[in-house]
Chain A
């Protein structure tokens, strides 16, 4: 379980996150929803140790994150983070070199699933293609958890459907997934739990199925209720 516990963070005097708490369990797909600038990406970076937090704590399976964390959590940032001079195949080799939990056969499977060219230079990739390769790098790790920052942004309709397909397939099965998005529509039926973030504060956190059954509301309804209030 990933526990984000009363995490606060500020840049200079501006508070970016205030007492943010939520959990992600294995086998659960949790979606951080919020408008632009709500602090979604910052939370993912804080979990990955890529930005310091002012107070609160983050635990992964009950322990403070250390370097072994990066084998347990796959991270897909909101853009491809490989040097543009590399070819796609170099990026895969890099991952294989540095991550003991890299699953080469799954990587190959994903490359063909997305129809990606191994020889293409990263600098020449279109935004959507880069986003797909980015997903390959994150998903081909045998990790317990996956963090994904806006995995659908800039990706065309059919590819979005393909990615959504991945979510319900065995690629994700059993892993804990934390993803951020501001367009929840495509994946609404996939997510187990939604955490609505507004200006750095958790405005509402709920079980999607329960809200759907008991209150007859969709995630988008809840977003409207909370964010437009």
Chain B
């Protein structure tokens, strides 16, 4: 247990600069989008005023949810980029220990602790990266609201409900834990995917060239097992044998089973078959 904690620390310590870079990128892109959009919004209203249109209508005022709605792409961009980097990192977290000049995997696999600690430390590091980035976005949003108030003159500023603002961006809806169950589904599916990829990576690392084929077959099998019931049990039909809730329950059981199998297989490979 102690070794596991220390290994998580080692993993996070190694990725700290990447994490910082993603945070800075998110901050810079979102703040730039915020200032630019808010300013042009203000300019548009002022221009309308000088032409003589009355400023009585409430849509001539700017709220934070208006801003979030009008910065869709630019606010989502750093989030999508972070997700892409995290997916790459799932591969990197193993391969960087094998490839390159220093093959740290020799050391990781010969520390006097169960190898599952190395495996779970890597999985935990990925999960923590996801949670840290989401927390960062959560902290960033109120700061951005405050900044928005500074940029927009008080006579044009209008209050809005914070959750409305979050719901105005399609990317936030999935990654920000407003709706507990939806958030758990996002994170749960994400981690199930991480464990499946870990399994594929360890197959390749254990059997090398033959392992690539095994890994692809394994991923295809995982995907088929998970997707097949969704297509055949008739969740999209009005009249089907099972209620949608029951189908989702079956789906959940399947995903949990596939994930447990992935973990069991990975640990076995790491113990018996891995080659450095």
Q: Does A67 contact B (CB under 8 A)?
A: yes
B111 → chain A closest CB, angstroms: 4
Q: Which of A12, A69, A83, A94 is the one whose CB lies under 8 Å from B102?
A: A83
Is B103 within 8 A of A79, CB to CB? yes
Q: Which of A12, A69, A81 is the one whose CB lies under 8 Å from B106?
A: A81
Is A85 within 8 A of B111, CB to CB? no
B210: chain A residues within 8 A (beta carbon): 12
A83: chain B residues within 8 A (beta carbon): 14, 102, 104
Q: Does A122 contact B (CB under 8 A)?
A: yes
Q: Does B237 contact A (CB under 8 A)?
A: no
Is B112 within 8 A of A71, CB to CB? yes
Q: Does A48 contact B (CB under 8 A)?
A: yes
Q: Does B114 contact A (CB under 8 A)?
A: yes
**Which of B14, B103, B106, B275 is packed against the most chain A CB atoms within 10 Å?**
B106
Is A70 within 8 A of B107, CB to CB? no
A97 to B107, CA, bound (A): 13
Q: Does B213 contact A (CB under 8 A)?
A: no
Q: Can you name the residue of chain A whose Cβ is closest to the Cβ of B103? A: A81
Q: Can you name the residue of chain A whose Cβ is closest to the Cβ of B97? A: A83
Number of A-B contacts (CB under 8 A): 68
Q: Which of A50, A80, A97 is the one whose CB lies under 8 Å from B110?
A: A50
A45-B276, A52-B273 known; A81 and B104 CB under 8 Å? yes
Interface of A is mostly: loop
B275 → chain A closest CB, angstroms: 4
Q: Does B87 contact A (CB under 8 A)?
A: no
B274: chain A residues within 8 A (beta carbon): 50-52
Is B110 within 8 A of A52, CB to CB? no
Is A99 within 8 A of B111, CB to CB? yes
Over the window 86-120 of chain A, the binary record of Cβ atoms lying under 8 Å from chain B Cβ atoms (1 yes, 0 no) is 00000000100111110000000000000000000
B106: chain A residues within 8 A (beta carbon): 50, 75, 77, 81
A204 to B148, CA, bound (A): 80
B10: chain A residues within 8 A (beta carbon): 94
Is A67 within 8 A of B104, CB to CB? no
Is B275 within 8 A of A52, CB to CB? yes
A131 → chain B closest CB, angstroms: 13
Q: Report the interface size for chain A: residues with CB under 8 A from the other chain.
A: 29
Q: Can you name the residue of chain A whose Cβ is closest to the Cβ of B9? A: A97
A61 → chain B closest CB, angstroms: 15
B102: chain A residues within 8 A (beta carbon): 79-84, 122-123
Q: Does A27 contact B (CB under 8 A)?
A: no
Q: Does A49 contact B (CB under 8 A)?
A: yes
Q: Does B109 contact A (CB under 8 A)?
A: yes
Q: Can you name the residue of chain B whose Cβ is closest to the Cβ of A11? A: B208
B104: chain A residues within 8 A (beta carbon): 81-83
A12: chain B residues within 8 A (beta carbon): 210
Q: Does B100 contact A (CB under 8 A)?
A: yes
Over the window 2-31 of chain A, the binary record of Cβ atoms lying under 8 Å from chain B Cβ atoms (1 yes, 0 no) is 000000000010000000000000000000
Q: Does A224 contact B (CB under 8 A)?
A: no
Is A51 within 8 A of B6, CB to CB? no
Is B276 within 8 A of A51, CB to CB? yes
Chain B residues packing against A (C-beta within 8 Å):
3, 6, 10, 14, 100-107, 109-115, 210, 272-276
- If A70-B112, A75-B110, A98-B112 are given as contacts, then 6 extra A-B residue pairs at C-beta distance below 8 Å, sorted by A number, are A51-B276, A77-B106, A81-B102, A94-B10, A98-B113, A100-B112
Chain A residues packing against B (C-beta within 8 Å):
12, 45, 48-52, 67-71, 75, 77, 79-85, 94, 97-101, 122-123
Can you sample 22 A-B contacts with CB below 8 Å?
Answer: A48-B110, A49-B110, A50-B274, A50-B275, A52-B272, A52-B273, A70-B111, A75-B106, A79-B103, A81-B102, A81-B103, A81-B105, A81-B106, A82-B104, A82-B107, A84-B101, A97-B6, A98-B3, A99-B111, A101-B112, A122-B102, A123-B102
